[in-house]
Structure 1
């Protein structure tokens, strides 16, 4: 699960990143509001943690702009402000939760879990394209009349990205950033996984195909 942390206090940010990574999250850390906005609009996150008081753009302005752009990723505000008016203003702008500094790390982790669960509650269990269906709860790829194929974790993540927005081209960099963010894999691994997924589509007699757009990336389409 991938998070963006926007916190301008670097010591606090470093501590939070260490704890979040230890808890199994992938984390991008930025230190001002403009960078936070740029990262959010150019990547795909499961949750966003925003400090309100940041250089260049305050967290509230970042939130307003991403909601105006249609980005519905869950957002948790971190702030030194404790007045009820500030909490109401943040929630009215579309924040999912609000945590006042200083806070307990256990509570932060619990709120992140709750926030990302709410996102999952609004996501369909199954994704479809043509006669192909991806069961997100079972990691199963299937078509009618065929026994489903259980996908390995990274195969599932790649197919989920493709089938969430059929027809939309996803760049190799996006796959690498989302699935191989530990930096331990070469970009050629994307082609290998695409090749394996194409073979699975053939074995299922799926009426969809994964197309390569030269220099741009991959997309899934009904034939």
Structure 2
């Protein structure tokens, strides 16, 4: 899942970026409204976390421009502007959620998870395929009833595959979901992650198959 964080408080921005990346999200960060508006127009994001009091361009104007372009990314406004009229205006302009600073970090993480579930069209808190289960709240996997520990990049890749189980996920979609502008994910690197996932899933009669020239999909292994 790819997130754009728009925050001009540098220590807060750095802390939230670290938190989100440790959870396996691909995060791009900008510190002013004009850069946010330009990046949101040029790139695809699952979630935009948007401050309102920004240099160069107010956050509400960024939101207005996004929705005018029919940008459907989920938007979480994260701001010190907590007056009812500010909340109403933000939500009416198309924000999906509104969180006032200072905030509890656990609540922030829960709202991020909730918005990303909604963005992916998921209503349940768990997903399963064969003996594999994903807890969407903790973003943890279990296989055969036992925890399946995965490095962040492999976990993110398996999340994409189980969320779209039964469908081929293109290489471009994988790169888009797992990388920020600072990252470089080559076809060879994707193949390495896929190979590792196959080994981890093999004991549970699951595999990741290749749709030649297109991408990958989660499937039951042949016995």
Same fold flag (TM > 0.5)? yes
- 2:75 equivalent in structure 1: 75
Structure 1 Cα separation of the partners of residues 214 and 69 of structure 2: 36
Q: Is the 8 A contact 1:53 1:79 kept in 2?
A: yes
- 1:23 equivalent in structure 2: 23
Structure 1 residues 1-223: aligned runs within 5 Å: 1-121=1-121, 138=129, 153=158, 156=161, 159-160=168-169, 176-181=175-180, 183=183, 185-186=185-186, 196-198=210-212
Q: CA deviation at 1:64?
A: 0.6
Q: Is the 8 A contact 1:77 1:98 kept in 2?
A: yes
Q: Which stretches in structure 2 are left out of the alignment for 5+ residues? A: 131-156, 195-209, 216-223
Q: CA deviation at 1:186?
A: 3.4
Structure 2 Cα separation of the partners of residues 122 and 185 of structure 1: 27
For residues 188 and 86 of structure 1, do their structure 2 counterparts lie closer, same or farther at Cα, with a shift above 3 Å needed?
Answer: same
TM-score where L is the length of structure 1: 0.62
Which one has more relative contact order, counting CA pairs under 8 Å at least 6 apart? 2
Q: Is the 8 A contact 2:4 2:47 kept in 1?
A: yes
Q: CA deviation at 1:120?
A: 2.3
For residues 43 and 191 of structure 1, do their structure 2 counterparts lie closer, same or farther at Cα, with a shift above 3 Å needed?
Answer: farther
Q: Is the 8 A contact 2:5 2:13 kept in 1?
A: yes
For residues 200 and 32 of structure 1, do their structure 2 counterparts lie closer, same or farther at Cα, with a shift above 3 Å needed?
Answer: closer
Structure 2 Cα separation of the partners of residues 23 and 83 of structure 1: 31
TM-score where L is the length of structure 2: 0.62
Instruction: State the secondary structure of the residue aligned to 1:75.
Output: strand
For residues 160 and 38 of structure 1, do their structure 2 counterparts lie closer, same or farther at Cα, with a shift above 3 Å needed?
Answer: farther
Q: Is the 8 A contact 1:155 1:197 kept in 2?
A: no
Q: CA deviation at 1:14?
A: 0.3
Q: CA deviation at 1:122?
A: 7.1
- 2:135 equivalent in structure 1: none
Structure 1 Cα separation of the partners of residues 190 and 37 of structure 2: 27
Structure 2 Cα separation of the partners of residues 186 and 93 of structure 1: 38
Structure 2 Cα separation of the partners of residues 122 and 41 of structure 1: 25
